Every structure is written in structure tokens, then in C-alpha cells.
Amino acid sequence: MADHTLEIRDLHVAVEGKEILKGVNLTIHTGETHALMGPNGSGKSTLSYTLMGHPKYEVTQGEILLDGESLLGLSPDERARKGLFLAMQYPVAVPGVTLYNFLRSAVSAVRGYTEAARKAGNNRLNAHLIPARAFRQEVNEELAKLKMDKAFLRRYLNEGFSGGEKKRAEILQMALLKPKFAVLDETDSGLDIDALRIVAEGVNRLQAELNLGLLVITHYQRILNYIVPDFVHIFYEGRIVQSGGASLVEKLEAEGYAWLEAEVA
């Protein structure tokens, strides 16, 4: 499998005129698992949205490079097509759009069906979508691996989903979109231990299958017992203040985040 590199270089980001990220540097290679840990409000989700190209997050300085090529001018769907995926901390509900239709549209866009139909001027119904039969089979296989019921596919996206169901739906998307790099933003929040195991198993399996580069954002140690990081970065007030191996997780668990204030000052 080819190796790829995602490089975040001196990234500064403002939201509504206020600087939130203050010089983030981080390089992730495919196959690696990086954990990003930090207290609430330190800017972790800001980093994940900025990576995906959310329009509200303004890059005022620095670069995001995929294999040396800047992503900054690209829209979120273009970034997805380049191989970036974000599992959101708070997946939104979309009443009226079934999980099945959402997944089929997303997969069709990321795998180029949508653009091919547009370029060919093919306006037939569903010409822009991956063929239903093949897709249905693929989805069913992934559902089974995630121990999700087929009935899910007919439900509206995230509408009334439990915390665990939302997170499994995110991992299902990831399995189908087959990214190079995935950012999991607090994927552990709201999961009981069984759901956490299933989600973590899914992530580990996909990492092995796809040679994924993973950025696991969390403020608890728990998920890192199941998705074991190669590198741990501590995030505080908009930047990485310390990096190390898995032993950093234990330090955080034992001492919390309070020591950071003294250290950074």
C-alpha cells in the first residue's frame, strides 16, 4: 500500500475574529495512530473542522499539506475525495434523508461517480450514483461487521440515534469511504463499554485494511486502551505543548490537566 503524509505546519486559525489555534505542528503518516489529548475548550474540534475545510474556521497562517500539496483552497468534498475523513464529535441529524441515501450519495461523490456523470452530461435518474445492487451488498457486509441492524439504513440520518448508534454510523461511513486519513473527534463520548469496543474494533480493522493514518482526539484515556496510539500529543490553548509515547497518557490520567497551566506559564 502506498504511504501518504498529512502535514500541519504552523497552523493558526480564527473563528469569528478570535484566534483559537496558535501554531499547530503535526505530521501524520499513513499507518500511524496519533492521539491528541487536551482539556475542553483547548481547540481540538477547531483543528478537526479546519482540517476538513469548514468555512467558519479561517486559516490566518500556516499550511495543511497532503503529500506536499496544499489542501487550504479545497472544499470539504474535495478534501474527502483526496482521502480525508472526519468522524464528528456531534454528528448532526438530517430528517428526511435516510442513512442509506446519505451513504450512497457520499460514496458516489467520493468515488467519482457523481463527477463522471456530470462530465458526460448524463442526466438519467441515478446516473450520478453508484449502482444500487453492488452498493447494497457492500453496505450490508459493513453493517454486519459493525453489528448494526439493516433497519438502520431506512432511518433518517442520526435522527433519534443513541450515542452509540451515531458513532457506529460514523464508522460505517468511514468503512465505505475508505479514507487515507481519519480524524476521530471524541468518538468515545457517550459510549458505553460494549459500544466502545465495537467502534474501536471497527477502527482497528479499518486501519489494518486501509493503512489508515489516524488522529484520535479525546480527553479521556479510555478509548486509548482499545485504539493504542504510536504518538501522544497534549493540546493546550490552541497548540501542541508536549509530544511523546503512550506513557504520556498515564501521566495525564494520574495528574489531570492542571499541571499544564504551570508548565506552559
Ligand X SMILES: Nc1ncnc2c1ncn2[C@@H]1O[C@H](COP(=O)(O)OP(=O)(O)O)[C@@H](O)[C@H]1O
- Positions touching ligand X (CB under 6 A) are 15-16, 20, 38, 40-46, 56
50 binding Mg ion? (CB under 5 A): no
Closest to ligand X by CB, 38 or 179? 38
30-39 b/e with 16+ CB inside 10 Å = b? bbbbbbbbbb
Asked whether the beta carbons of 221 and 35 are under 8 A apart, the reply is no
User: Grid coordinates in use for 130?
Assistant: 453508484
DSSP code, position 91: P
Rounded to a whole number of angstroms, the minimum distance from the CB of residue 158 to ligand X is 19
- Give the shortest CB-185-to-Mg ion separation in angstroms: 6
Name which of 117, 162, 96, 172 is nearest 141 in CA terms: 172
Closer CB to ligand X, 31 or 39, in the complex = 39
Whichever of 38 and 179 has its CB closer to Mg ion, that residue is: 38
Judging by DSSP bridges, how do beta strands 181-185 and 213-218 pair with one another? parallel
Provide the minimum distance between the beta carbon of 222 and ligand X in the complex, in angstroms, as a whole number: 17
Partner touching 83 among ligand X, Mg ion, none, CB below 5 to 8 Å by kind: none
In the range 75-134, which residues lie near Mg ion by CB under 5 A? Answer: 89
Q: Which of 30, 42, 45, 187 binds Mg ion (CB under 5 A)?
A: 45
Is 89 or 211 the residue whose CB approaches Mg ion more closely? 89
Alpha-helix residue ranges (DSSP H) falling in 33-179: 44-52, 76-82, 99-110, 113-119, 132-145, 163-177
